[in-house]
Structure formats: structure tokens, C-alpha cells
Structure 1
């Protein structure tokens, strides 16, 4: 049996690690780190730096090249499922190359429960090998964003809805929702909304030393956010951002 530890590591700040996460990393025989190409090499390096900070024993660390989504597959769900299959193949290749390994760890950005595919990939692996799964929760980008802006996630007595930029762009503002948390938005989908009466709290690289935050009425700050986001992406080669919208 192989134990697979999915360890939430927060939003890139080594201080986000919990004591539970530190113990889980030190219990591992092998730590797998995905590499997403030269433009995003610092994402892999951040994981390496976290390991260097907290490991108190020798643990093998293996980087693997993360597959990319097949652009030939036009259906979104089919394309993602095919991609997940390919990532599961990568995990199995690394594990099978080390027959004595019993405890494998993966460092998951944020938390494995929220808009992350690691649990779905682990399910694929469990069909190929006798697997015991352990999930260590981490700080999410939602928490990083609300901390940066010093706001509660929900309005007084109110609810909020978490969705994606693609959903907002394709389907508009969800019915009966006054406050939205928008994740995975690579194209600033808030630009598709009628901005009057909407307030936005935006953050890039939340929780990290290069954190950027902008907030205000969408009519006043939308262009500033899009320009700031593009400059940051050009500077770093990538950006992780998130925002909250409220209307009324």
C-alpha cells in the first residue's frame, strides 16, 4: 500500500504551512513537484524552497514535467479529463520508478478542496495501485484576499457564491447572488458586466511578498486592474489572482 499525502501549502507564503503540513512533509519518502515550463519555473522553485525550509530529514524530491491540455480536444470537460489522465500517468511513472516508496507527498497550491484537480487525479491513481489517501488542508486564496483587504468573506447575514471567470463570462451574474468570489479568471471577466453599482476587491499574488491589491467601484478601477494585472503577468511570466464582486 502507498500513502498519498495531498498537502495544502497556501498561496505561496511559506508561513502559510500548518504544523500538520510540516509533519506530513517530514513523514514522506518522496515529494513530487510539478514543473510547468521555464515561464513558471518559480512555481516549482517555491515548492522547493518550502521543502528546504521545513524538512528536518532527507526526503527524495522529484520534479516532473506537467502535461499540457490537448488543444485538439474542443470539449472543455473532455479536454480536462484527458489532461487529468496524463497527470496520473506522470505520478505513476515516478512512483513505479521507486519500488520501495511507501509515503508520497504532493504540495497543493491553496487547498485541495477548492478549484483544484489533485483529488480527482488521486482517484485515478487509486484504481491502479492500493492507495491510502490523506488530505492536509491549506489556506485558500479566498482567505488570502479577504485578509489583504481586511474584509469578511460574507456580508452581514448574507451568503456568497464561489465561481469561475469562465462561468461569469458565459452565463453572467448568477441569479439571487449579491456577492461573488471569482477564481480562475485569465481574461478579467468582470469586463463583461454592466459595472454600475458593483464593487470589486481584487488581489494578485495574495499572501506573497509581491502581493498586489486594488479595490473600489468597478466603474472606477476596472481599467486599472486589467492594466496592473497585465504588467504583473509580463514581469513574472504568470499571475494568480482572485477577486470578490458585490452589487447593490
Structure 2
């Protein structure tokens, strides 16, 4: 590939898992891609690759394409790391992904369009844009980003709620930061990336908190639960564990709200 050649890259949000979540813009972007690069997270999560392939199959039409799967670098036990070590581990993970993708891209024909399929939306708790930015430091890229339906949009739709009270805020955070930062003044708090359901640690301090929870949103195996956190957390924990045993992976999200700011049903 010439050093002057600008490679086209499509970063495509594909929604929270359901093929029906794909927007018309995302379908158009898929039809422009020749090679999709996908991180392979191991046998337990192979279904995530298969779901991406199904989304593409439904949208690609006659445009020829192929998938290239690359073993995803191991990051280690994030929950046990202090903030500084966690940030360093994520940077190392991004760099390892960048190196692996760069090696594959360098071997592709110069006119190939490269695609990355992002679960949910590329703007929320996903590393793809940062990795592509790293790639752009190594080779000239023309990057186009197509937004997707987020997990918290799918959560609100599945429960039939508005995420905020009238004129009130919505705060989006991770399980890692939830306990130290939670306050009812934040309004509705949407929590992503919480593999340990840290919300259980709030029950004693905030017994009247309400939760709207969902996992595998948009898929046939979708699971939902809602109610007072203290009443339903054990059931949610059990359901989540059962999903992991059955599917080998769980993607869930939840919204917490104090009674005065609970989502409007």
C-alpha cells in the first residue's frame, strides 16, 4: 500500500443485538465494506461473532465481503485493579488491538474498505474509535462513523419507560464507578459494564431505589426485571448467572432512580 493511499474505514453501530436494531444508515455502511475485522473473545463468546455475521448477511446484499477474526488480547481482572492500573491496562489493550489490526490491514488490497461492527453505539463505552484513532497514527485513514441504537435506548423501549423525570437529568456511568459516585441528585443513573451488579451495595443506603434491568436486549433470549432494588436484586443476580451459564456471555444494562426521579412509565 502506498504511503499516500488513504484507507477507508467504516465504524458501524449495529444496535444492542437484534438485527431489527440496525438503522438504514448502518445497512448502507455495511454494503460499502469489503473486510470486517472482528475481535474473537473465545469459544464462550463465539455467538457474538455469529450475531455480527447474521447482521451483515441480512444487509450486505450482493456486495462481496469477508470476516477476519483476530484473537482479542487478554486484559485481566479489571475489577481488582485500582484506577491508575485499570487505565494503564486499557491503554495496553488498545495498543495490542491496534497492532493486530494494523498487521491485517497492511496485507489487504489498497482499495479494500475495512469495517468494524460496534455493539450498541461507538460513542458509549466502546474502544473501537480509540483503536481506529491509534491506527490513524500509523497509516492514513478516511474514517466514517455510523451511530447505532444504544443498550440504554433498548432498555427503555423494552420496559416502556422514559428514562428521566420532567426536566431532570440522566447520568450514564459504569459499575466500577457507581458506588463511590451515586447520589439521588444525579437523577436517573444508567449503569453499563457492571459484571458484578455493584448496585447491590446501594441497597442499605438507599432502600427505596428503583431498578429497571435488562439483558441480551433485543434477542429472543432477552430478560427483563424491575422494581425496588432491595426486592429484586437477588432475582436479577440469579437470572444473570443463569444467562451466563446458558449463553456463555451476558450483556446487560440497568437504570436506577430514586422515587422522586423514577422513570415515567
Per the alignment, residue 119 of structure 1 pairs with: 129
Counterpart secondary structure, 1:27: coil
Moved more, 22-31 or 236-245: 22-31
**Structure 2 alignment gaps of length 5 or more:** 1-5, 260-265
The CA deviation at 1:79 is 0.3
CA RMSD of aligned residues (A): 1.6
Residue of structure 1 in register with 2:36 after alignment? 31
Aligned counterpart in structure 1 of residue 65 of structure 2, from 59, 67, 81: 59
Kept in 1: contact 2:184–2:257 (CA 8 A): no
Q: Identify the match of residue 20 of structure 1 among 22, 25, 33.
A: 25
How far did residue 71 of structure 1 move? 5.8
Q: Secondary structure at the residue paired with 1:133?
A: strand
Deviation, structure 1 residue 60: 2.5
Decide which of 145, 151, 157 is 1:135's aligned counterpart.
Answer: 145
Contact 1:201/1:216 (CA < 8 Å) preserved in 2?
yes
Structure 1: where are the runs of 5+ without partners? Answer: none
What is the match of residue 86 of structure 1?
A: 96
Matched, 1:187 2:193: no
CA contact (8 A) 1:159 1:179 kept: yes
Which position in structure 2 is the counterpart of 1:48? 53
1:54 Cα deviation after fit:
1.3
User: TM-score scaled by structure 2?
Assistant: 0.89
Count of residue correspondences: 247
The residue matched to 2:185 in structure 1 has which SS?
Answer: coil
Pick aligned residue for 1:225 from 230, 233, 236: 236
Helix, strand or coil at the partner of 1:176 = helix
Quick check: 2:184–2:258 contact (8 Å CA) kept in 1?
Answer: no
Residue 96 (structure 1) shift: 1.1
Instruction: Give the structure-1-normalised TM-score.
Output: 0.95
Whether the 8 Å contact between 1:10 and 1:111 is mirrored in structure 2 is: yes
Change (3 A) 1:79 1:241: same
